[in-house]
Homo-oligomer: A and B are copies of this chain.
């Protein structure tokens, strides 16, 4: 491709309304243009990247034995009534009435349509297992679309649905898809993690999310440095600490007139934050509960809500706190409440000795607190905190780190929920009608583009992994108008690179070098070659990798060797 024959339109200024770096860079590189809230046109440049992702996904799905088909984007209400999701799916479902007043939705997902297809097309165990997939445009009417294509309303998705005569077969395909997703994200050159996930609203029995790691990710992920273990921080178990140490200090009151946080108290006392205990007052089914976690930990709401009586807990009001503990938040603790309370201690708190808590008296804390001696054991001892970096991995192998991630894929074992609701059956080997087990497997194709940028960029722009780059190498020419040999040599090099199977683009737009180089860096091509009069005189081309700080002068052979990798 010659850039003069292409439509490339970059922008220098960072758009004011783009909050995240991928959105900013996609707009600056001219990859997308907003049509309306959550609706984007993919420009020729953007589409090249989108198609690269799509190709890798398609190739690996085919390699895994999945079979591509294409379902309509518009789906009739009747099918969604069969599964009860017409009501339950909520506001994200874009509902439509046609000219005959029949109701439809723009499909946000295709479980109903594929199950309808399956109940008509599949009749025997001989046709199973089968995994149908499509790469297709979907719509979710996000209440607050944002971050460009990261959370757009109309987006491109790969969705796959498998059907199985029994759970063992579903398990096999689930693993096959897990491995396929691993290959896809590896081929795309992304740093990612597969994490255990809550199955959430879609329901089912097992599920993993695939996250592209990026500091800007919405989700926090705990992962082991010694195994494949990874889980959402919400779900990762903080393993039980060792046995409690014996008491060594006497109980004493500490004057903390303005120290309302564990950090302030620890600083005042010159002790580690892990010697302090945070008291969080909540209200459960049976009334007031004080939750204790170490000063350097935070309460995990998901874990807490799984304890008896706390499924629907809320934070206690100041009035409730005063009534039960007699002090203001900042000085709360488990000792000497005014009224009876229940105490939930995180397992790490239960293992502490000589710790510091609020004194239930404004302006004071108590140090040298010990279980058994100064207060009774907690009513409930449980894992109620988020894991932190440095915790032991729950699988016993290695230490946890915390990373932020952007969800780009999801594999589910759906079980028989949809097949049952829609009366989809097949005959098994014995000739008996059985309800097939289903799996579903999604990849956010357009979202991957944004996630890749969140992970791979620098001050000058995007830094594409090879597999996603719109082109592998840019051939730039310096002052071609002054020297026809430069233009001719650049043209020749461009042709030879493409003939050698290296996807090169020729920057023949006639821009000044600074502007040209800024564009090429911004759009993130992995390699740049500069053809100049001086270089030609020396028999060399100037080569620079997008990730390198310096350029090298290479002769033709060395250049080709470098680009062939």
Contact = CB atoms under 8 A, between A and B. Distances in A.
A91 interface: yes
Contacts of A44: 67-69, 132
Given A7-B127, A7-B132, A99-B141, A117 B70 contact: no
Nearest to A79: B35
Given A99-B91, A99-B143, A153-B74, A130 B7 contact: yes
A423 interface: no
A73 interface: yes
Contacts of A46: 69-70
A42 B69 contact: yes
B35 A67 contact: no
Contact of A116 (B5, B35, B65, B106): B35
Given A7-B127, A104-B36, A73 B73 contact: yes
Contacts of A545: none
Nearest to A77: B36
A227 interface: no
Interface string A15-39: 0000000000000001001011101
B117 A74 contact: no
A235 interface: no
Q: Which size class do A's interface residues fall under?
A: 35 or more
A72 interface: yes
Given A70-B42, A71-B41, A74-B39, A121 B154 contact: no
Interface in A229-259: none
A64 to B, nearest CB: 11
Given A41-B113, A67-B6, A99-B143, A74 B106 contact: yes
Contacts of A5: 65, 67
Contact of A47 (B39, B68, B96, B137): B68
A120 interface: yes
Number of chain copies forming the complex: 2
B75 A35 contact: yes
A375 B42 CA distance: 69
B113 A35 contact: yes
Contacts of A130: 7
B141 A98 contact: yes
A222 B545 CA distance: 60
B76 A36 contact: yes
Contacts of A306: none
Contact of A40 (B37, B40, B41, B72): B72
A41 to B, nearest CB: 5
A231 to B, nearest CB: 33
A395 to B, nearest CB: 36
Given A33-B121, A41-B117, A120-B33, A70 B47 contact: yes
A96 B99 contact: no
Max count, chain B CB within 10 A of own CB: residue among A39, A70, A121: A70
Interface string A104-122: 1010000001001100110
Contacts of A65: 5
Interface in A73-113: 73-76, 91, 94, 96, 98-99, 102, 104, 106, 113
A72 B113 contact: no
A139 interface: yes
Interface of A: 5-7, 9, 30, 33, 35-37, 39-44, 46-47, 50, 65, 67-76, 91, 94, 96, 98-99, 102, 104, 106, 113, 116-117, 120-121, 127, 130, 132, 137, 139, 141, 143, 153-154
30 contacts: A5-B65, A7-B130, A7-B132, A30-B121, A33-B120, A33-B121, A35-B71, A35-B72, A35-B113, A36-B74, A36-B76, A36-B104, A37-B102, A39-B75, A40-B72, A41-B69, A41-B71, A42-B69, A43-B69, A44-B67, A46-B70, A47-B68, A47-B69, A47-B70, A73-B73, A74-B106, A74-B153, A94-B96, A99-B141, A137-B137
Given A35-B71, A35-B113, 10 more contacts: A6-B67, A35-B72, A35-B75, A35-B76, A36-B72, A39-B74, A42-B69, A74-B106, A94-B96, A98-B141
